[in-house]
Structures are given as C-alpha cells and as structure tokens.
A and B are shown apart, each in its own frame.
Chain A
C-alpha cells in the first residue's frame, strides 16, 4: 500500500511545475521558492543577488577547519527575493542548505542546493517576514563541523548561531595546550604576581 501511495505522490511531485525540484548528474536544487509570498508579506520588497563559493580553499583562513564558504554570514531584509549562485570549487560533493524556513513554502523548512562536484548552480528563495537567524550549512558528514557553516540573518536576525567560523565560538570547546614560550610564560608569571601582590596588599592595608 505505502509504496504505491508514495510513488503516486512522488510522480505528482516530479511532474508538478510548482515543486521547485531540479536534479541531474550535476547535483540538485530542492524546495526553491520563486513566486509564493511568505505570510505577512504584501509584496516582494526587493531583490538581492549573492554568490557563495564552497571549498577547502576557504578553510585556510580559519585554523582547525578543512572546508569552508567564501562568506559565513548573509544579511537580508524581510520579504526579499534572494537569487543564490552556488559555486563548488572542490572535486567532491558540497551543499548550501538553509534550515528552519517556513514549512508551507519549503518542505521540512529546507532550501537545498547541492553540487556533486566542481560546478555552479542557481536557486531562489524569498525571505520570510520575521527577524530570525537561519542556519546554512553543508550536511555531507562532518562538513559543517569542519567549517562549512554559515548564518542567514533576516531582518537583522535574532543573535548568532554557535561555531560559525570567524563569527562565534564553540559550545563544546576544544582544549589546547599552554604555550610555554619565553614571552608567554613571562607574561603569565607577571600577571600571576600582579594578582598575588594586589591581594596581599589589599589585606595588609586593611589591617593597618
């Protein structure tokens, strides 16, 4: 029963001109929204064009990452139509996937662009009428963790997401060794002595 229903649904989904699904041996663009207005938007307030490059090239800037985007934060006004050009510079699969968008516009709240190798594609979505920060990432295993994470702020956003390269810190922090070079050790000793002396002075002075 279930497979037939699924099959029917899928065939509807595929043949529908509205679904916003493009797929091929180059990759895919899923849940695009070119026309439909988000709730609370009277019209499309403006148009924006962005280009996102993905690859290990962009990890160089951030020590401890392997993959990255050319830009890790994007800001758009509300109700704006955004044309995304996604460029993959690596010879492997990368994605640019935005999460948490209104589910009535994007199934599972997801706008998804994927390239199976080096190449370029374009996709469009319309920002909702909210002030929110959305997660954008590549969900190939461990790519987000190793640097392919960005945030999309709509209407100014509502704060930062964690561990965005160059923007915010880790919640589950990595621990690094202490730098024992002369300058750093000396600085540490001086600061320790400063704290020690100030405390002693404070108590002795109070007694007197």
Chain B
C-alpha cells in the first residue's frame, strides 16, 4: 500500500475523532466554546428507573406468639418476653429444672437430649441442686454439602446473608435441620454459642462432646478453674478433643461474675468462627434455680435470685464480627484436609477485616426480632455485654446513660462506678451494665424508641450497607405494636427485611422518597439527531482504524520480505 493512502487514513481518523468529540461534548475540545456557538440546547436527564418491587415482606416471622406470655412450668416461673421470636418456655423450664428432672411431655416439646443438663444433690441444703452436668456439642452452620449448592444446616444472620460459622450448642436430639426438605438449622443450632449459667460453689461438670470434624477444646476464660487437664489450652494443659471424642471439665467456681468460654485451638480461627460464649457464675443464694442455657442469648426468662434482688429483668448481649474471607472458607470444600490447610495456614487474620457485625447472632434488622431491650419507666435492667469481635466495641445507648457495675466479672466499688453513654469494651472483655430508666435527664431522657449500637461506624453496616450490623433498640413497652416491633415515628423498616437491600439493589431512601428524587437513574439512549450522527461517525472511525491496522500489517510484511532478500 502506498504511503500516501496511509496518510489519508491517519488524517481521516483524526478528523473523525474530532467530529465525534464535538458531537459528544464540544466543551471537551474547548471550554469556552459557548462564546462562539451560544448555549447548548436543553436535554432532559434520563428518567428514574421504576421503584423495584420488593415483594411480600415479613417483618416479624412469628411462629409461637403464645410463648411471649409468662409461664409457670414444673414450678418454675418464666418471665414474659416481648420478642417476635421468644424462647421456648418449655425449653427454659428444662434448662432450669434439668433435663433429667422434667416430665416427658415437657422434654418432648424441646429438642434436647435427655442428658443435656443433669441436675442433682442439694449439697448445701439451700433448696437448689449443686451437682450440675452440662453437655455441649459443636455444630457447623451454613456448611457445604457434596450433594448441591444449598448450605447445610442453613442459618441467616440477616436477610439473605448466610456466612459459615461454628457454635457450641446444648446437646440435642433428632435432626440438625428442620426436616429433609427445609434445610434451615433447628432452633438450638444458632449463633451465638449459648450463654451458660452456673452457681458459685456448684460442682460443675462441663462435658465437651466434639461432634464436629475438627479438634476443639473449651477454655473457661475468667472462670475459677484448676489448671491440670482443665484449662482448655492445647499448648499447656491438655490434649485437643478430637472428632468423636469428649472431654470432661470439672470446676467449682469460687467467684461470681460475667465470664466467657471459648475454644482454644487455633484461637484466631476457632473463636472468630463462633466458638465463644458467655459463661456466667451467679452468686450462691437459696432456692437459686438457674437457667443453665440461654439459647440465642438476649432476655433471660428466668433470672437468678441474686439478679432479681437488684433488677427487674436481665439481658445477655453478645457482640460478634464475621470476616467472610475466613468464615466462608467452609463453603469452598467438603474435604476437612483442604479446610484445615485453608483456615490454619492460608488465611491470615492480620490481613482480615470484619464484614458482618452481630448482636446475639443476628444483624439488623433481624436484631429487631430477637434482641430488642424492652423496658418500663423507673426500672433497673441488667445488661451483660461481651465483646467477641477482634476490635474495640464502643457501645452507645441513645437516650440513656447506664452505669458500669462490673468489669470482667469483678464488681466496681459503688463509689467508683462510672455512668456514661459510650461503653468501651476490649476484645473478650465483659461489662455489667445497670440500665436505669428513670426520666431524670441523666439515666434516661424519657420514654421512646431509642437506638443502641456500636459507635465504631463500620459496625452499623452489613458489609458496608447501613442500617445493618449490630444495631438494636431500647424500646419502652408502650411503643410496642402487635407485631412485637417498636412503632416509632421514623421511616418504615420494611425494605431492610428484603435480601435485595443488602445486595445493594434497592435505593437507600426508597420507602420514604415519594417524589423519587433519589431513585436509581435510568440510562441514556439514542434520542437526538446528534446521537444518531455520533454513532455513525464512531462506526466510520472503527472502519478507518481497521483499514489502518491492515495497512500497517502489509507494511510490516514488505519490511520482512526486504530483510529476507538482503540476507
């Protein structure tokens, strides 16, 4: 091809590019173009996309609303609960009496094994049993199945969000899933690992039955226990409990307080996978029948005698974080050898960041179903807070300044107690709070629906989408509606119950934005004669570029031929 034709092609390419830019936006070529051409014509911005249909949304998926009322089962008084999904009172009764002491119809209404909580022998003669045997198993949530893509047993922390997790759970019986078709985990298998309560001075036998496919132990963090074969630390005190084995921990705690338990095998992995829970030693009191497990944490339906002396009600609040690059590893393989390598050696927690933030095993809005703190005016509510995340927790209670009565299970001298509205809790630390609803402008600013959340701002999001994370509410009971939710004066919470919201598919202010000011923008199409010409010119430009390529190729060919001839 001639050199002149290449020049022509180059020239036309440049010319077409200039025309295209001019058609697209002349001000890219020269910013003061309007001085010569006048102002551009009005062209309407694209219309908004129609508001997405979020389908039917269930705010409270209540199954047994009758469980909310107070019960007396087997002589055990069980407090009312305002939660959308309250604890099964029969199960609470079985935990309080012991699974060995309840009648068959009660046990049949739970899914507990007969030997889950065995209570006997009132040694000190104060009206409550002192020999307590507690059996815990290790369960996986949202694990992989070799038979399909569905996670088993399934557990949602928030709409459509199913990270992998491991938990300590009371020994159960029957199926791990609801049935063969619904692969959701049965209600005993859930985050967080169930809080355990024992009495000061009890002979407690805690049996770890390792039903999981990795080795585990239990370390009784802060609980008075002897060292030998009892501390749960594989490097120092005992061998790991292998799959299919059990380990017996024997304690007789001399000091009461809010403590914790966690697995001490590969702690940076196993604790973050969820093998951590509250372990509470209650003061020794007469007739002190304790609720050994508080499945799902939250409201304690049968508080101890000691707690009831100073408080009307009690809540366990367990904060946890999830790094999906760790937790979802269990969904990548069914082979434990591969999982062990990925989790222990390839995952690097120093590069990790948490994506999900949970209060009592759920993120907002599911916290509203289980973890509302419902109060009456002039009431003392005891909150036991555990920070199970690897970062600081800066818990903030709107409208209230609560008093920190204990750190790590040790009471604070009443004269030195601090009343504040942001409670900083270090990882693995526990604080006891006295939430006093006296409307005095200090302890409470009055009745209402008040937010309660970690003020480290990432923690109010679910993978960056707010509101999510560990947000919950302190609700004065008169604001509760029949759906067991708070009727506030704010925006509708409905869209947050749609999985689409956390998939980033719903405009954030969708429900409240009637004008559609902030809806998703539609795309631009070919609308004016300028657009038509622009596309045609772009087509021409493509053709010229193609021809240029061809010319360049033949040029190279002739060069090669010449070189060959020379040699």
Q: Are A92 and B137 in contact (CB under 8 A)?
A: yes
- What is the 8 Å Cβ interface bit string for chain A, positions 1-39, against chain B (1 contact, 0 not)? 011001100110010000000011101100000000000
A72, CB-defined interface residue at 8 Å: no
Q: Are A116 and B115 in contact (CB under 8 A)?
A: yes
A140, CB-defined interface residue at 8 Å: yes
B219, CB-defined interface residue at 8 Å: no
Which residues B185-232 have CB closer than 8 A to chain A?
Answer: 185, 189, 209-213
B561, CB-defined interface residue at 8 Å: no
B489, CB-defined interface residue at 8 Å: no
B522, CB-defined interface residue at 8 Å: no
A131, CB-defined interface residue at 8 Å: no
A89 to chain B, nearest CB (A): 8
Q: Are A141 and B143 in contact (CB under 8 A)?
A: yes
A143 to B175, CA, bound (A): 11
Q: Are A56 and B209 in contact (CB under 8 A)?
A: no
Q: Are B108 and A91 in contact (CB under 8 A)?
A: no
| Max count, chain A CB within 10 A of own CB: residue among B173, B244, B333 | B244
Q: A90-B244, A139-B176, A141-B211 known; A116 and B333 CB under 8 Å?
A: no
Q: A145-B143, A174-B335 known; A6 and B109 CB under 8 Å?
A: yes
B394 to chain A, nearest CB (A): 34
Q: Are A14 and B244 in contact (CB under 8 A)?
A: no
A68 to chain B, nearest CB (A): 10
Q: Are B109 and A66 in contact (CB under 8 A)?
A: no
Question: B146-154, B276-284, B438-446: which one contacts chain A?
Answer: B146-154
B31 to chain A, nearest CB (A): 55
| Max count, chain A CB within 10 A of own CB: residue among B145, B153, B189, B245 | B145
B243, CB-defined interface residue at 8 Å: yes
Q: Are B144 and A10 in contact (CB under 8 A)?
A: no
- Chain B residues near A140: list those with CB within 8 A: 137, 176, 211
A170, CB-defined interface residue at 8 Å: yes
Q: Are A10 and B114 in contact (CB under 8 A)?
A: no
A162, CB-defined interface residue at 8 Å: yes
Q: Are B147 and A171 in contact (CB under 8 A)?
A: yes
- Chain B residues near A99: list those with CB within 8 A: 180
A108 to B181, CA, bound (A): 11
Contact check: which of B139, B146, B149 meets A163 at CB < 8 Å? B146
A67, CB-defined interface residue at 8 Å: yes
Q: Are A142 and B246 in contact (CB under 8 A)?
A: no
A127 to B292, CA, bound (A): 43
Q: A14-B105, A56-B243, A92-B246 known; A116 and B146 CB under 8 Å?
A: no
Q: A28-B173, A56-B244 known; A142 and B108 CB under 8 Å?
A: no
A interface residues with partner B (beta carbon < 8 Å): 2-3, 6-7, 10-11, 14, 23-25, 27-28, 55-56, 63-64, 66-67, 90-93, 97, 99-100, 108, 112, 114, 116-117, 139-143, 145-146, 162-163, 170-176
A143 to B138, CA, bound (A): 12
Q: A10-B105, A92-B137, A141-B211 known; A67 and B244 CB under 8 Å?
A: yes
- Chain A residues near B266: list those with CB within 8 A: none
Q: What residue in chain B is nearest A170 (Cβ atoms)? A: B146
Q: Are B179 and A108 in contact (CB under 8 A)?
A: yes
Total cross-chain contacts (CB, 8 A): 131
- Chain A residues near B189: list those with CB within 8 A: 141
B177, CB-defined interface residue at 8 Å: yes
- Chain A residues near B121: list those with CB within 8 A: none
Q: Are B244 and A64 in contact (CB under 8 A)?
A: no
B337, CB-defined interface residue at 8 Å: yes
Q: Are B143 and A25 in contact (CB under 8 A)?
A: no
A163 to B338, CA, bound (A): 18
Which residues B80-134 have CB closer than 8 A to chain A?
Answer: 100, 104-105, 108-109, 113-115
- Chain A residues near B140: list those with CB within 8 A: 141-142
- Chain A residues near B137: list those with CB within 8 A: 92-93, 140
Q: A10-B109, A114-B173 known; A174 and B334 CB under 8 Å?
A: yes
Contact check: which of B143, B243, B337 meets A67 at CB < 8 Å? B243
List 5 A–B pairs whose Cβ atoms lie within 8 Å, in order of A's numbering: A10-B109, A23-B104, A116-B114, A174-B334, A176-B338
Q: Are B209 and A92 in contact (CB under 8 A)?
A: yes
Q: Are A14 and B185 in contact (CB under 8 A)?
A: no
- What is the 8 Å Cβ interface bit string for chain B, positions 308-328, against chain A (1 contact, 0 not)? 000000000000000000000
Which residues B436-488 have CB closer than 8 A to chain A?
Answer: none
Q: Are B145 and A172 in contact (CB under 8 A)?
A: yes
A10 to B338, CA, bound (A): 45
Q: Are B334 and A64 in contact (CB under 8 A)?
A: yes
Q: What residue in chain A is nearest B337 (Cβ atoms)? A: A64
Contact check: which of A2, A23, A112, A139 meets B177 at CB < 8 Å? A139
Q: Are A142 and B177 in contact (CB under 8 A)?
A: no
A114 to B211, CA, bound (A): 14
Q: Is the interface of B mostly helix, strand, loop or mixed?
A: loop
A56 to B146, CA, bound (A): 19
A112 to B141, CA, bound (A): 23
Q: Are B243 and A162 in contact (CB under 8 A)?
A: no
A27 to B174, CA, bound (A): 10
Q: A11-B105, A141-B153, A172-B145 known; A66 and B213 CB under 8 Å?
A: yes
- Chain B residues near A139: list those with CB within 8 A: 174-177
Q: Which 6 A-B pairs have the closest CB atoms?
A: A90-B244, A170-B146, A64-B335, A141-B176, A163-B146, A66-B213
B369, CB-defined interface residue at 8 Å: no
- Chain B residues near A97: list those with CB within 8 A: 175
Besides A64-B335, A142-B212, A171-B146, 10 new A-B residue pairs in contact (Cβ under 8 A), listed by A number: A56-B244, A64-B336, A67-B213, A91-B245, A93-B209, A112-B174, A116-B114, A141-B212, A170-B334, A174-B334
- Chain A residues near B146: list those with CB within 8 A: 145, 162-163, 170-174
A140 to B186, CA, bound (A): 11
B86 to chain A, nearest CB (A): 14
- Chain B residues near A163: list those with CB within 8 A: 146-147
B133 to chain A, nearest CB (A): 11
- Chain B residues near A173: list those with CB within 8 A: 146
Q: A56-B244, A64-B337, A99-B180 known; A170 and B147 CB under 8 Å?
A: yes
Q: Are A3 and B145 in contact (CB under 8 A)?
A: no
Q: Are B336 and A66 in contact (CB under 8 A)?
A: yes
A63 to B336, CA, bound (A): 10
Q: Are A171 and B148 in contact (CB under 8 A)?
A: yes
B515 to chain A, nearest CB (A): 46
Which residues B320-350 have CB closer than 8 A to chain A?
Answer: 333-338
- Chain B residues near A28: list those with CB within 8 A: 173
Q: Are B108 and A10 in contact (CB under 8 A)?
A: yes
- Chain B residues near A11: list those with CB within 8 A: 105
- Chain A residues near B100: list those with CB within 8 A: 25
B66, CB-defined interface residue at 8 Å: yes
Q: Are A92 and B177 in contact (CB under 8 A)?
A: no
A10 to B106, CA, bound (A): 10
- Chain B residues near A175: list those with CB within 8 A: 333
